[in-house]
Amino acid sequence: MNLTIYHNPACSKSRKTLELIEEHGITPKIIEYLKTPPNADSIIRIARLLGISVQQMLRTGEADYQQLSAQAADDDEQQWAAGVQNYPRVLERPIVVDEDSARAVIGRPPENVLKLIDDRS
């Protein structure tokens, strides 16, 4: 199984999601998105895999979200996605992508990742 986790080690939900993945014997590719933010094309791809808009995968309670929302038009996915590179804290966490099946989940709750793992078992 080829999983990628967009991970924030300071987040308990992200740590728990990673733990669940590893408990199933899977070693995911870990991207600490605060250190290495995904580019706009990656953000748009992830949103499509999740089946939601870029805005729906953002944490609206973050102060950085206000900055980003002032810069991006409501209907411009490209602007929102590009803004995540400048304000990576707004990205919901964790996001887990199954590269083999081209599916993704947000690990809130962490058990959401089991949808990817159990479907492949």
Domains and CATH numbers, the chain: 3-120 (3.40.30.10)
DSSP-assigned beta bridge partners for residue 31: 6
Confidence grade of residue 118 (pLDDT, cut at 50, 70, 90) = confident
Q: Which pLDDT value is given to residue 3?
A: 97
CA distance 103 to 79: 23
The answer to whether residues 96 and 28 touch, using CB atoms and an 8 Å cutoff, is: yes
Per-residue b or e along 6-29, where b marks 16 or more CB atoms closer than 10 Å to that residue's CB: bbbeebebbbbbbebbeeeebebe
Pairing of strands 95-98, 3-7: antiparallel
**3-class secondary-structure state, position 93:** coil
The set of catalytic residues is 11
State the Cα–Cα distance between residues 43 and 8, nearest whole angstrom: 16
Q: How far is Cα 30 from Cα 32, in angstroms, rounded to an integer?
A: 6
pLDDT in tens, 36-74: 999 999 999 999 999 999 999 999 999 999 999 998 888
Q: Model pTM? A: 0.94
Question: Which tens digit of pLDDT belongs to each residue from 66-106?
Answer: 999 998 888 899 999 999 999 999 999 999 999 999 999 99
Q: What is the token pair recorded at 77?
A: 């996915």
The pLDDT confidence band at residue 4, using thresholds 50, 70 and 90, is: very high
Structure confidence at residue 120 (pLDDT): 60
Give yes or no for residue 121 having a pLDDT over 80: no
